[in-house]
């Protein structure tokens, strides 16, 4: 088994996995990649930290971030259920 770098270990927390899951779900649903949107990533990180805390006692939680992005067609909202399985992925 290869030794992970410190950077890899720091970026592989449960909250980081939830952020990536939320980002990927939003990209799949809306076709918008939030990677370069600093404010959206900040909101994703805050929601992920809260989701991880809630998943300590729940099997799944609903993450809802209204107005996470917008297009010419109007605002876009993120609404995703996150289960404990996401933490172990």
- Residue 11: pLDDT above 80? no
- Residue 4: pLDDT above 90? no
Owner of token pair 């300590």: 56
Structure tokens at 53: 């805390």
Go through the domains of the chain in sequence order and give each one's CATH number. 6-88 (3.90.640.10)
Q: Are 61 and 82 in contact (CB under 8 A)?
A: yes
- Residue 10: pLDDT above 80? no
φ/ψ of 72, rounded to 5, equals -60, -25
Q: How far apart are CA 14 and CA 49, in angstroms?
A: 8
Percent of the chain with pLDDT over 70: 87
Q: Mean pLDDT over residues 44-61, rounded?
A: 96
Q: pTM value?
A: 0.85
Structure tokens at 17: 């996995």
């Amino acid at each position: 088994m290869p030794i992970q770098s410190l950077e890899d270990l720091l970026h592989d927390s449960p909250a980081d996995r939830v952020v990536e899951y939320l980002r990927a779900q939003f990209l799949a649903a809306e076709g918008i990649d939030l990677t370069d949107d600093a404010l959206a990533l900040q909101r994703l990180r805050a929601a992920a930290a809260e989701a991880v805390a809630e998943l300590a006692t729940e099997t799944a939680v609903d993450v809802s971030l209204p107005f996470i992005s917008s297009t010419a067609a109007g605002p876009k909202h993120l609404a995703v259920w996150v289960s404990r399985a996401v933490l172990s992925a």
